[in-house]
Structure 1
Amino acid sequence: MMEIDPKAFLTSIFEAAVAAADPERTIRNHLPAKPKGRTIVIGAGKGSAQMAAAFEKVWDGPIEGLVVTRYGYSAPCERVEIIEAAHPVPDEAGLVASKRLLAMVSGLTADDLVVALISGGGSALLPSPAPGLTLADEIAVNEALLASGAPIAAMNTIRKHVSRIKGGRLAAAAWPAKVVSLVVSDIPGDDPALVASGPTIPGEGTRVDALDFVKAYGMKLPHAVMAHLNQPAADAPTVDDARFAGNEVHLIASAAVSLEAAAAAAKRQGVEAVILSDSIEGEAREVGSVHAALAREVAARNRPFQKPVLILSGGETTVTLRAKGKGGRNSEFLLAFAIGIDGFSGIDALAADTDGIDGSEDNAGAFADGSTVTRMRAAGVDAKAMLAGNNAWTAFNAVGDLFVPGPTGTNVNDLRAILVR
């Protein structure tokens, strides 16, 4: 193995994973047939503006539409209007966007086509409280979910039952027009109905499942929300609803495809790569500790993989909030990982969100190696105390190891890359 600059190498791996989810390339391969009537483009998510710009380039015909993305994630479009709203906590702009999307697809005919551009983050960007609920109620639900440690499937089952737009309701509003959903998956297992809580795709989770999840994860939801969830009127549309019969769903990018591209990029640079899984879930710090144990085993004993090797994994971990520190699931994963490899030479890692933002700060994640904890200590930072306080951003910022690529225009979940030299 030739001498490698670990940070440059790991950055190239991240870039290869993101390039594999490039919206222009992936959308071109999944264009629907042209309709007799109008073509309406709608969408939501952290990659939806770039998807809209890509669709404008490759669609040969008139279009009109509206998509909503996160503040700072816009892209120039000529015919599709872009609205920015708040993520991860919904705001009034998202509420307005939801109302406008529902209005845009109402009154269509069977000759019309709705193209839905859906990517991760769309759930928070489309607040639309169910009848009798308020935006404050939906924000309270969102905050309870984010702090609960519940997996994404559980979160989205609850979200869609307190909404006018999620769980296929947006597609139901477009009936009898055909709806073609082009989905960039950031969900472990790539169930398109879970991405952005499936505004155009009904899912399996029922209202009873939602109530079970609330109980199982000890969530304290507003009284009005619980009263709503206990009413049959809250039931979301089911998969066999006739309004969805003619619709199409295409998964155009996912963590699995991006991990394979990352592995290929490593091999081109002379490093063998292994993919553990594209759907790892669980508490970020615990997943970090397990990855650290695996890296130590490879470094010390050359098993279960031979050095040099790049160990890759994807998925979406969760963070149960214990304090009000700064960070995100990737930096928290990596801080636990750094503690686990403290003192080991020849191990370098990057953990980052492929959308370019981890948590609420401007970093996608961070870098770590066997000297990270020692360098933090020299900078006056106690790594274990920072981990206990959900303060991973502060810890990595202190040693200049934050990874800040900026918004990428796509979102296929987290990328964890561990190089053992």
Structure 2
Amino acid sequence: MASLRDRANALFQTACTAADPGIALSRALTDTPLPRPDKGGAYRIVSIGKAAVPMAEAMIAKVQGQAFSALVVTNYENARDVAGAVVMASGHPVPDENGAKAALAVEAMLADTTSADRVIALISGGGSALLPAPVEGVSLADKAATSRLLLGAGVDISQLNLVRQALSRLKGGGLLRAAHPAPVTGYILSDVIGDDLRVIASGLTVAPVGSRAEARALLQGKGLWADLPASVQAALERDRDETPLPPAQNVLIGSNRKSLEAMQSEAGADAMIVSDRLEGDVADAAAEIFAAAKSAGDRACLIFGGETTVRLQGTGLGGRNQELALRVAMGMPDLGRPWVFLSGGTDGRDGPTDAAGGVVDAGTASRIIAAGGDPSALLANNDSHRALSLAGDLLVSGATGTNVADVQVLLLGPLH
């Protein structure tokens, strides 16, 4: 069984390496020439997200010898000094005051650009929380409370970003307005299934997902409107700037699908990508995994990718990958063969925990019970972190410096 676990962990690392942001950006810069500033202009590099540091380093190496300034905004775990850049760290997944300060710094950097400058926006997952810029009248606390309300209701990432954009000065193309009249080129590492650029980091360099009227309709339809802070209700009832956005060139440099393909290549001929859209509630995702396991036949490696959601009903600690792993451990049918299942966030962090996810097998539930826990009660309380900790089944990788959503792998041993 240990060899299956080792292989699962190795394939997770393969997925993260395939999404290495520095390599992906360097490859993109080789394929697509970098626009140059006009005479008297300079590069203004803004790097935002969990992969902001290595993306900034790759870009700064590319523009060495030319006039540039650079500002990096990333999460605390991934922050480190970058030669030639100012680095600011802020909160994720819950926005904090340092993020609000970083947003002001980005706006200040872009405020005096001219048409001769070239703004380079390096964007990766996590940018939504890391760069909060609430619209007038909405406090950071009220915006954070709104995000928590939506996450607790199990909304998907597109719905979450519809509301986030409606409450932000920079999201939904706001960065383009802030940079005008300088042309903007965005290099984007996708953490969103389907790679909708409007959703990645809430679409800093593209048009918004929808209107404020659509955001209101979503919240009312979910029965959440009455629970919103009054300032948020007022902001969503105001008209927004509907003038056309300045144009931008956006280049996608990496994605979840590319990481799944790397895992498949590494695993060999008996590996299959079952789904690159494992989405929706974790209970439904677990059922999809069970069905694939029962029909695996001679396949020994089933690969999934996506981003599930969790409906919070308890007070426990965990994340979507940990809860999915726990559900698989508790519900996997008898396959007549050993198995190991891994679910992990490629950024190395799952929810507000120190884990990336979980690695479970047929003995997980028994180990939880032997350690004094009740797996069913822990699951009902959304306490997957404690459950997997009792079993010794947490996936702890540390910050990876990238983020292309989640990957899952089910490894199957020989049939009895």
Deviation, structure 1 residue 342: 6.4
CA–CA distance in 1 between the matches of 2:333 and 2:297? 21
Per the TM alignment, residue 50 of structure 1 is displaced from its structure 2 partner at its CA by: 2.1
Matched with 1:357 is 349
What is the aligned counterpart of 1:310 among 301, 308, 320? Answer: 301
Partner deviation per Cα, 1:120-153 (whole Å, 9 max, x = no partner): 1111111111111111211111111221101100
State the SS of the aligned residue for 1:30.
helix
Whether 1:373 aligns to 2:331 is no
Number of the residue aligned with 2:8: 10
Q: For residues 242 and 96 of structure 1, what CA distance do their matches in structure 2 show?
A: 25
1:194-209 alignment runs, 5 A limit? 194-209=199-214
- Contact 1:357–1:363 at 8 Å: present in 2 too? yes
Output one character per residue of 1:52-87: Cα deviation in whole Å (capped at 9) or x when no partner: 122223334332111211112113311121111111
1:300 alignment counterpart: none
Q: How is 1:160-179 mapped onto 2 (pairs within 5 angstroms)?
A: 160-179=165-184
Structure 2: how far apart are the matches of 1:50 and 1:317?
Answer: 27
| 379-388 or 149-158: bigger deviation | 379-388
TM-score (norm. length: structure 1): 0.92
Structure 1: stretches of 5+ with no match in the other structure? 298-302
For 2:379 and 2:393, how far apart are their aligned partners in 1? 16
Q: Aligned to 1:277, what secondary structure does the other structure show?
A: strand
Contact 1:307/1:420, CA 8 A, preserved across alignment: no
Aligned counterparts of 1:165 and 1:38: Cα–Cα separation in 2: 22
Q: CA deviation at 1:217?
A: 2.2
- Measured against aligned partners, the alpha-carbon deviations of 1:225-284 in whole angstroms (never above 9, x if no partner) come to 112111113x5x57xx2512xx211111100111000110101xxx51111222221112
Structure 2 residue 36 is the aligned partner of structure 1 residue 45: no
Q: Deviations over 1:347-375 (max 9, x none)?
A: 11110000001111111111111111112
Q: Report the residue type matching 2:4 in the other structure.
A: P
Give 1:115 shift: 0.9
Q: Which amino acid aligns with 1:248?
A: Q
Distance, in Å, in 2 between the alignment partners of 1:272 and 1:408 is 27
Q: Distance in 1 between matches of 2:281 and 2:37?
A: 46
2:136 matched to which residue of 1?
131
Q: Work out the percentage of aligned pairs sharing the same amino acid.
A: 38
CA–CA distance in structure 1, aligned partners of residues 18 and 92 of structure 2: 24
Seen in structure 2, the aligned counterparts of structure 1 residues 293 and 381 have a Cα distance that, compared at 3 Å, is farther
Alignment length, in residue pairs?
A: 403
**C-alpha separation between the residues in 2 aligned to 1:379 and 1:25?**
43
Question: Deviations 1:321-348 (Å, cap 9, x if unpaired)?
Answer: 1111111000001111111126654111
What amino acid maps onto 1:229 in structure 2? L
- Alpha-carbon distance change, 327 to 242 in structure 1, aligned in 2, over 3 angstroms: closer
Residue 278 (structure 2) pairs with residue 280 (structure 1): yes
Q: Aligned runs of 1:78-157 on 2, under 5 Å?
A: 78-157=83-162
Matching residue's letter, 2:408: R
Structure 2 gap ranges (5+): none
Partner of 1:260: 261
TM-score by length of 2: 0.93
2:233 counterpart letter in structure 1: M
Residue in 1 aligned with 2:222?
217
State the secondary structure of the residue aligned to 1:332: helix
Farther off after superposition, 45-54 or 169-178: 45-54
Report the RMSD for the aligned CA atoms in angstroms.
Answer: 1.7
